[in-house]
Amino acid sequence: MGGCSSQSCHRCFFEYETERMIVVKSKVVGSVFRLIQFLILFYVIGYVCVVQKSYQETDSVISSVTTKVKGTGFTNTSDLGGRVWDVADYNIPPQGESSFFVLTNMIVTPNQTQSTCPELPNQSTICMSDSDCLEGSNDVRGNGIQTGLCMNYSETVKTCEVLSWCPLEIDINLPEHALLVAAEDFTVLIKNSVTYPKFNFHKRNILPDVNSSYLKQCEFNRKTDPDCPIFRLKDMVSEAEEDFQTMATRGGVLGIMIDWNCDLDWPEHYCGPKYSFRRLDNKIPENNVAPGYNFRFAKYYKTTDGRETRTLIKAYGIRFDVIVFGTVNAVCSWFLLTCTKRRDYYSKHKFTYLDNTDDNAGEPVSY
Amino acid sequence: MGGCSSQSCHRCFFEYETERMIVVKSKVVGSVFRLIQFLILFYVIGYVCVVQKSYQETDSVISSVTTKVKGTGFTNTSDLGGRVWDVADYNIPPQGESSFFVLTNMIVTPNQTQSTCPELPNQSTICMSDSDCLEGSNDVRGNGIQTGLCMNYSETVKTCEVLSWCPLEIDINLPEHALLVAAEDFTVLIKNSVTYPKFNFHKRNILPDVNSSYLKQCEFNRKTDPDCPIFRLKDMVSEAEEDFQTMATRGGVLGIMIDWNCDLDWPEHYCGPKYSFRRLDNKIPENNVAPGYNFRFAKYYKTTDGRETRTLIKAYGIRFDVIVFGTVNAVCSWFLLTCTKRRDYYSKHKFTYLDNTDDNAGEPVSY
Amino acid sequence: MGGCSSQSCHRCFFEYETERMIVVKSKVVGSVFRLIQFLILFYVIGYVCVVQKSYQETDSVISSVTTKVKGTGFTNTSDLGGRVWDVADYNIPPQGESSFFVLTNMIVTPNQTQSTCPELPNQSTICMSDSDCLEGSNDVRGNGIQTGLCMNYSETVKTCEVLSWCPLEIDINLPEHALLVAAEDFTVLIKNSVTYPKFNFHKRNILPDVNSSYLKQCEFNRKTDPDCPIFRLKDMVSEAEEDFQTMATRGGVLGIMIDWNCDLDWPEHYCGPKYSFRRLDNKIPENNVAPGYNFRFAKYYKTTDGRETRTLIKAYGIRFDVIVFGTVNAVCSWFLLTCTKRRDYYSKHKFTYLDNTDDNAGEPVSY
């Protein structure tokens, strides 16, 4: 504020300071000056406004996903005989959540009961006599509680006996070709509804122009049917550049990404889901330790005399994880909401919590 | 740096340049100048500091949710006879996770076995003779593997026979009124603990002033019991402006949002959960393709002769997704952590990873 | 633009304006001026560039988690007799997802059937005669539908009879010591693959230098085996500063955090997973209402005459939630991608959606 003494403060308050300017009249200097001005203007408009869209208001997606798998397959194994598999058999968990598993290969151990049997042979279980086995011992990598006896596992090998679900599962003979070969033709209907609460924008991946009869026979194809929400399992795996039969044999995890990034300043018509697929578990060849995806589950039965038996299934298959993401930008819609009377309308509907949802990107996607 | 030649560089280093100013003494110009200054100051303090709170430190929530549903219902159908349903029957998955399902309507197909039966009649399955059926054919929209025979489905219609779980489910007769009508009075206890790790702030939705006896009999009510963490299912659906019985008949997905946005500069007392409810799946009337929410699951049994039978259930109901979000702001607490000796205390506890959690908004909410 | 009249606009366009400067030659003023310049420079380089790394490009993690628990335990209870528990028995859900539950304590109610029995005695169920009971009444906190009769619950107490799964569960006698004590020695293998799509960076928590034989016998230890992805349950609980047996008795929720924050400008070698553990449910002593974690599930059987029976299990245990988070920074890698020809390579692979993933922090972690 330059030289304002306290006594002249009142007068000083109404002073206005400005720089003294020099005007240089030269075509060269002037051209350079204008060029620099233009570049700055170009940067602000071109990059900040058009590319970064910094002037726009943003909001993050709230999403809900349900899935439904269709198809039946047939297997013929020595353990189970001929058997038809439908969705209630191979789809685990059955709830149609955003993550679902399709069983494609398995090792079945039927008729297990709580009893005793010799351990599977390995360095720590092979024994010569009972003195090699410790009663009550419970190795975390073993299959049960040792009874202290040494029993014939085969004609040539003796192993320590364990109390366990017997007979034990022998999981070294995984079928080389996935048992449920038909799984590649199974289809899944993915229903996905999204909400951008700040803009009161709702949309689902079943677009308005899709009708029931189309939905009954369509199948997603990036070129011919990009809007069909029904996906053939093999097609999804192929788009992720994987081979279905290879993946089906040892299992894996496949991500189904649905991208809802939109610019609401354009007509709603342009805001639609974009699908992409990617294998999520790793199969780097040089680090191929513990590959694939499998888990064990059991079906429990009771015999007529009340004893419990179970069928143990080591299930190999593909877990599909639907991942929804998206941020929406808009300046027009935002002005509508902020400046017009509709604001009151929205306020009345208690959407006050919505101002914070952009801090929670992605959150609502998971279940 | 003006005209500094390299030889006079040392002298030049200690030069100071400033603009020559002009002071305009005019009440009008001075007033406008001060007004603009005031507006800028007002913008910085009022908008940046008070509204945006840009000076505050923020952190995102780490959350854990468990749920427990209570209530019993009674159904009386021709398939099952009179039957009581408790939580182990209708709550799927049973694990009390942040997403849980309450079964309200169903189509039950008991005593299915692996056998052969004529397909459900439709354009592609109706046949005149065996030559219309292709042995081994497996339509993804069908129910099994064709045997090549043409069988009587009813007295007037013949369809191709399939190997499948027979008898086949007939899902066209969904009960018009949800079978488990009592579900609207079921309650759910939601336990939600949140942590803002950067501020070492913990809180749960069961507030400190809630005791066991209150918890045993309370029920959430926005006006009279806003702190009770026990919710009646019908109340939640009503708050989302839906009708419970309509939603129960065909199923749906309901979001339970818990908002933990807090300003830690205020007393902890003011930082509590805010509940809101919103239907997440879509029911836009003009696009009512594939509405509702349902899935199929089976209970497996073995007969005395060792054959496997199952009861197939097409389950309709409401899936409740608990969605927790929140960002916390604080300037005081942050100063405490940053400037005082407690900083060492926290550093010792290896919370170094916490500085990055705000980039992971929402992440910990899911299980 | 100073005083440009419309007629002289062309000339005016090439004018260049600048301020008239004063040069003050004084060592004191010059020193202060340079010091201020230096401080500003120091702030920009030191804080903005080095500390905040604002010049770097960031990306958020896409992650996939699978888990597999190992170990067997033995329980000896009056209800079940001696019984061995393996992973298919105690691991619920069995799918090996990022959230898994290990059963450690339980209340078992075997042989329940749909029938009638007297309610558990409490204020509202104790009766003197049938007139105290209301037929058809269905208390949400009760266990079934009242039949209207008043029956002997014990020799001294009469309660209203209910139609329910009988006999009713008596859940007041929770074993003080967790039944499945061996659970503390169970191990879990966590497989976690992460992708930073913007930088085409993939890595898994099974590091390249880990081979199969090491993986077969290793166990995570922060000092001796920080890279082993196999964790002993007790060790994880201890790192969260909790006591395993206490937590096992009433249940709880434990978070396994995997931190993948990386600076890709350093060699890839430095970018590895950092594990930490934290109890997620709350056990604040002064607010110990509704502690622990438990849920009910049932195994269904059919008797030889076709009646359905079930074994109800109130399961207490520890739910482990694997939470993956991470943001990656890089300037070199980004330049590589942006400026070199590989850009075209990436563009061809249709990774256009990736530019927006940083808005969806955390999202892909959940399933």
Decide if pLDDT at A10 tops 80: no
Q: Is B296 annotated as a binding residue?
A: yes
Q: Is C70 annotated as a binding residue?
A: yes
For residue C182, the distance in angstroms to the closest alpha carbon of chain A comes to 9
**Radius of gyration (Cα) for chain B, nearest Å?**
33
* Least confidently predicted of C13-27, C167-181, C327-341: C327-341
Tell me whether residue C73 is exposed, middle or buried, using C-beta atoms within 10 angstroms of its C-beta: 0 to 12, 13 to 18, 19 or more: buried
Contact B296 A191 (CB under 8 A): no
Output the average pLDDT for chain B.
Answer: 80
Contact A14 B30 (CB under 8 A): yes
Q: Is A100 annotated as a binding residue?
A: no
Give tens-digit pLDDT for B46-64: 665 565 555 566 677 778 8
Contact B193 C93 (CB under 8 A): no
Alpha helices in A289-341 (DSSP H): 332-339
DSSP string, B162-173: EEEEESPP-TT-
Q: Average pLDDT, stretch B284-297? A: 75
Decide if pLDDT at C258 tops 80: yes
Give tens-digit pLDDT for C173-183: 888 899 998 99
Q: Is B295 annotated as a binding residue?
A: yes
The percentage of chain A sitting over the pLDDT mark of 90, rounded to a whole number, equals: 42
Give tens-digit pLDDT for A249-290: 999 999 999 988 887 777 877 888 999 999 988 766 555 666
Q: Which of C90, C120, C289, C293 should we substitute to test contact with B (largest number of B Cβ atoms within 10 Å)?
A: C289
The percentage of chain B sitting over the pLDDT mark of 70, rounded to a whole number, equals: 77
Q: Average pLDDT, stretch B139-155? A: 91
Q: Residue A346 has what pLDDT?
A: 35
Rounded Cα distance, A294 and C310, in Å: 28
ipTM of the complex: 0.77
Residues in chain C within 8 Å Cβ distance of A60: 359-360
Contact B366 C361 (CB under 8 A): no
Residues in chain A within 8 Å Cβ distance of B32: 16
Model confidence at C270, pLDDT cuts 50, 70, 90, reads confident
Residues in chain A within 8 Å Cβ distance of C365: 366
Q: How far is CA B207 from the centre of its chain?
A: 22
Contact B353 C289 (CB under 8 A): no
For residue B213, the distance in angstroms to the closest alpha carbon of chain A comes to 31
Of B98, B276, B361, the CB nearest to A360: B361
Which position has the higher pLDDT, C15 or B205? B205
Q: Residue C303 has what pLDDT?
A: 87
Give tens-digit pLDDT for A222-244: 999 998 999 999 999 999 999 99
Q: Residue B355 has what pLDDT?
A: 29
Model confidence at A189, pLDDT cuts 50, 70, 90, reads very high
DSSP assigned state of B181? G
Residue in chain B closest to C33 (alpha carbons) equals B16
The percentage of chain B sitting over the pLDDT mark of 90, rounded to a whole number, equals: 43
Give tens-digit pLDDT for A70-99: 999 999 888 778 899 999 999 988 888 889
DSSP string, C220-232: -BTTTBTT--EEE
Q: Average pLDDT, stretch C170-198? A: 89
Of C82, C88, C96, the CB nearest to A298: C88
Return the SS3 of C79.
coil
* A neighbour chains, 3+ CB pairs within 8 Å: B, C
Residues in chain C within 8 Å Cβ distance of B17: 21-24
Tell me whether residue A152 is exposed, middle or buried, using C-beta atoms within 10 angstroms of its C-beta: 0 to 12, 13 to 18, 19 or more: exposed
B to C CB pairs, distance under 8 Å: 190
CA distances to A34, A40, A265, A364, C100 from A48, in Å = 20, 11, 17, 30, 46
Of B21, B274, B300, the CB nearest to A2: B21
Cβ pair B320, B188 in contact under 8 A? yes
Residues in chain A within 8 Å Cβ distance of B280: 62-64, 193, 195, 364
Rounded Cα distance, C50 and C44, in Å: 9
Q: Residue B353 has what pLDDT?
A: 30
Decide if pLDDT at A297 tops 50: yes
Give tens-digit pLDDT for A313-354: 999 999 999 988 877 776 654 554 554 443 333 333 323 232
**C-alpha torsion A206→A212→A213→A219, nearest 10:** 30
Q: Residue C282 has what pLDDT?
A: 72
Decide if pLDDT at B174 tops 90: no
For residue C84, the distance in angstroms to the closest alpha carbon of chain A comes to 6
Q: Residue C16 has what pLDDT?
A: 67
Of B19, B182, B357, the CB nearest to C21: B19
* Least confidently predicted of A131-145, B326-340, C267-281: B326-340
| Of residues C103, C235, C240, C242, the one with CA closest to residue C181 | C103
Rounded Cα distance, C339 and C57, in Å: 14
For residue C120, the distance in angstroms to the closest alpha carbon of chain B comes to 15
The percentage of chain C sitting over the pLDDT mark of 90, rounded to a whole number, equals: 43
Of C66, C182, C350, the CB nearest to A293: C66
The percent helix, strand, coil of chain B (3-state, each to 5) is: 30, 40, 35
* Least confidently predicted of A2-6, A105-109, B277-281: A2-6
Residue in chain A closest to B274 (alpha carbons) equals A353
Decide if pLDDT at B341 tops 60: no
**C-alpha torsion A165→A167→A171→A174, nearest 10:** -130
Return the SS3 of C317.
strand
Of C26, C98, C281, the CB nearest to B193: C281
Q: Average pLDDT, stretch C34-48? A: 76
A to C CB pairs, distance under 8 Å: 189
DSSP string, B275-344: EEEEE-S---GGG-SS-S-EEEEEEEEE-TTS-EEEEEEEEEEEEEEEEEE-EEEESHHHHHHHHSTHHH
Which position has the higher pLDDT, A53 or C297? C297
Q: Is C11 annotated as a binding residue?
A: no
The percentage of chain A sitting over the pLDDT mark of 70, rounded to a whole number, equals: 77
Return the SS3 of C77.
strand
Alpha helices in C171-309 (DSSP H): 212-217, 233-239, 244-250
**Amino acid at position B24, single letter:** V
Which position has the higher pLDDT, C44 or A205? A205
Output the average pLDDT for chain C.
Answer: 80
Look-up of token digits 């959540």: A97
Model confidence at C261, pLDDT cuts 50, 70, 90, reads confident
Rounded Cα distance, C91 and C97, in Å: 11
Which tokens hold the place of A276? 């992409």
Residue in chain B closest to A217 (alpha carbons) equals B141
Of A30, A138, A324, the CB nearest to C15: A30
Model confidence at C203, pLDDT cuts 50, 70, 90, reads confident
Q: Is C68 annotated as a binding residue?
A: yes
Give tens-digit pLDDT for B209-234: 888 888 888 999 999 999 899 999 99
Q: Is B68 annotated as a binding residue?
A: yes
A to B CB pairs, distance under 8 Å: 193
Give tens-digit pLDDT for C110-126: 999 999 999 999 888 99
Q: Residue B342 has what pLDDT?
A: 37
Give tens-digit pLDDT for B8-43: 556 666 666 666 666 777 778 778 888 888 888 777
Rounded Cα distance, C57 and C87, in Å: 44
Model confidence at B104, pLDDT cuts 50, 70, 90, reads very high
Model confidence at A139, pLDDT cuts 50, 70, 90, reads confident
Q: Average pLDDT, stretch C265-282? A: 85
Q: Average pLDDT, stretch C342-348? A: 36
* Least confidently predicted of A72-81, A272-281, B348-357, C262-271: B348-357
* C neighbour chains, 3+ CB pairs within 8 Å: A, B
For residue A288, the distance in angstroms to the closest alpha carbon of chain B comes to 28
Of B20, B30, B281, the CB nearest to A191: B281
Q: Residue C348 has what pLDDT?
A: 33
Rounded Cα distance, C318 and C254, in Å: 7
Residues in chain B within 8 Å Cβ distance of A93: 93
Cβ pair B195, B271 in contact under 8 A? no
Residue in chain B closest to C258 (alpha carbons) equals B353
Q: Is A296 annotated as a binding residue?
A: yes
Which tokens hold the place of C151? 């029956």
The pTM is what? 0.80
Residues in chain C within 8 Å Cβ distance of A297: 88, 94-95
Contact B289 A211 (CB under 8 A): yes
For residue C162, the distance in angstroms to the closest alpha carbon of chain A comes to 26
Contact C64 A255 (CB under 8 A): yes
Decide if pLDDT at A213 tops 80: yes
**Amino acid at position B104, single letter:** T
Which position has the higher pLDDT, B275 or A333? B275
- Per DSSP, what are the bridge partners of residue C204? C193
